[in-house]
Structure 1
Amino acid sequence: MEVSVGEAAVRLGVSGRRVRERIASGDLRARRIGRAWVVDEAQLGRSPRVGRPMSRRVAWAFLDLLAGGVGEGVSQPEQSRLRKKRSLLLEASDPASLLRSWLPARAEVRRYSAADADLPALREDARIALSGVSDMRSGMAAAGVVEGYVGDDEVDNLVADFLLSERGEPNVILHVLQEDRPVAAPVPLPLLLADLADHDGPRERAAVARLLRDLP
């Protein structure tokens, strides 16, 4: 599978310019499609998933448990199993791999391309709850990317207002939530951890391990 320069940059935790430099030097295999470069995803070193993904319902119960709740929305036996998974996560040498494997169903992910000049306004838009590499708690300096949560009743208007496009290099990552799962800024820490884990880069994995200590 091939990915855009923007997606490769997000995965590697570097700028798009740095990815193009690595392409020019031959360090990354890529080919041109029209005006854009695409990169062989196999070079980006994504770690294998470990364990079965949770359903959306169980994923949100686990996120509630990680935030200090009881695991709302599942039965007591399921809560007991989730508590065991929490212990496994806290003791894991690579907790990011577990989160990436367990929680992909928590929200739909959409990637768009926006004009660089619009990124500051996107970050300030009240419809987006910043998360992942755009959340200050992550310690990332991802000025060229906007990542966050948006309700499914607002995403179409957001796309129209900022002329977001599914073509070009994605620099906007939207986690789209259904109406029964509203999220306000700052997003709960477990959500931030899950979003960082999805990037699967060394900096993001290190941030997960660091922030995991702040869970209640």
Structure 2
Amino acid sequence: MYVAGLSVGEAAQRLGVNPARVRVLLKEGGLTGQRIGSQWVVDADSVRRRLDVVAAARGRSLSRRAAWGAAALLDGQATPWLASSERSRLRARLGRHATEGVDVYRWWMRQRATSVRYRIARADIAELIADRAVVGSGISAATPYDLGLSFAEEAEIYVGGSEAARLVEEYFLVESERGNLVLHVEDSGEDWHRRTTRVVDGVPVVPRLVVAVDLLDSPDTRTSSAGAHLLRQLLDAMTNGRDARG
């Protein structure tokens, strides 16, 4: 499912501009890509970098503690590690940009963990997901959260810093930029992924805000679009005062 290039239309959709603007950015060097015949293929990483630059204008990214606090708040969870004033500021910040592009939130959540992509044997994925140390996210949380995505050959998980090396050894994980496993390591020692875990249909998963931004980081257009849709649902529920819990 790894997709390195985007069409002009897909890049325009992600950036929130029209296709003509994308072509201008390609010519000016604001985006990189290559021509194949008469069509441009836009480098997905250059689109992501431009989104980061635009989103950076919306303020600093959240600390890891605050990022997981924001995720818990949007799912209606208790956040005892936050003072009431911090919760109020977080809610205000989340709501202030709710009508803007989803990449603002992707920028804010960028410190949630460190991430590495690995190659894992397809036959080992189910066992990995069931490991006691693993909390599912992204594509591995799509079924519990009913996101309409299913990729049996891929996985995305969170683990604590003390467990990452064990998983790499036990499951013979090989680091690869095009690997089928995204391993997020929450190595702060606070186990935020554990403290905010939800069990949905028997599967331990991270809060939906984290799932959404993980999906947004995918180079696959359908997966990224599912993340954008999930995030908009969360923000819509928050701004309209509905129960955020899924």
Q: How does the TM-score come out when normalised to structure 2?
A: 0.63
User: For 1:74-107, what per-residue CA distance to the aligned partner results, in whole angstroms no more than 9, with x for missing partners?
Assistant: 4444333212123235x3243x313201111111
Which of 173, 189, 212 aligns to 1:193? It is 212
Alignment correspondent of 1:215: 244
User: For 1:148-179, what per-residue CA distance to the aligned partner results, in whole angstroms no more than 9, with x for missing partners?
Assistant: 11121111111111110113621101111233
Q: Structure 2 stretches of 5 or more lacking a match?
A: 11-33, 198-203, 238-242
Answer yes or no: is 1:79 the counterpart of 2:81: no
Deviation, structure 1 residue 69: 4.7
Alignment correspondent of 1:42: 46
More displaced stretch, 197-206 vs 143-152: 197-206
Contact 1:193 1:211 in 2 (8 A): no
- Structure 2 counterpart SS, 1:105: coil
Alignment correspondent of 1:8: 4
Alignment correspondent of 2:130: 124
What one-letter code is carried by the residue in structure 1 that aligns with 2:4?
Answer: A
Partner Cα distance (2:104, 2:47) in 1: 21
Which of 190, 213, 226 aligns to 1:180? It is 190
Which of 52, 64, 69 aligns to 1:56? It is 64
User: For 1:33-84, what per-residue CA distance to the aligned partner results, in whole angstroms no more than 9, with x for missing partners?
Assistant: xxxxxx6633679734522211122222322322325654344443332121
Alignment correspondent of 2:179: 170
Describe the shift of the 1:175–1:7 C-alpha distance in structure 2 as closer, same or farther (beyond 3 A).
farther
Alignment correspondent of 1:92: 99
Partner Cα distance (2:49, 2:123) in 1: 31
Aligned residues: 189
What one-letter code is carried by the residue in structure 2 that aligns with 1:84?
Answer: A
Q: Structure 1 stretches of 5 or more lacking a match?
A: 13-22, 31-38
- Structure 2 counterpart SS, 1:141: coil
What one-letter code is carried by the residue in structure 1 that aligns with 2:99?
Answer: A
- Structure 1 counterpart SS, 2:179: coil
Aligned alpha-carbon RMSD (Å) = 3.3
What one-letter code is carried by the residue in structure 2 that aligns with 1:121?
Answer: E
Higher relative contact order (CA closer than 8 Å, sequence separation 6+): 1
User: For 1:95-124, what per-residue CA distance to the aligned partner results, in whole angstroms no more than 9, with x for missing partners?
Assistant: x31320111111111211112332333233
Contact 2:216 2:225 in 1 (8 A): no
Alignment correspondent of 2:139: 133
Alignment correspondent of 1:114: 120
Alignment correspondent of 2:18: none
Answer yes or no: is 1:101 the counterpart of 2:107: yes
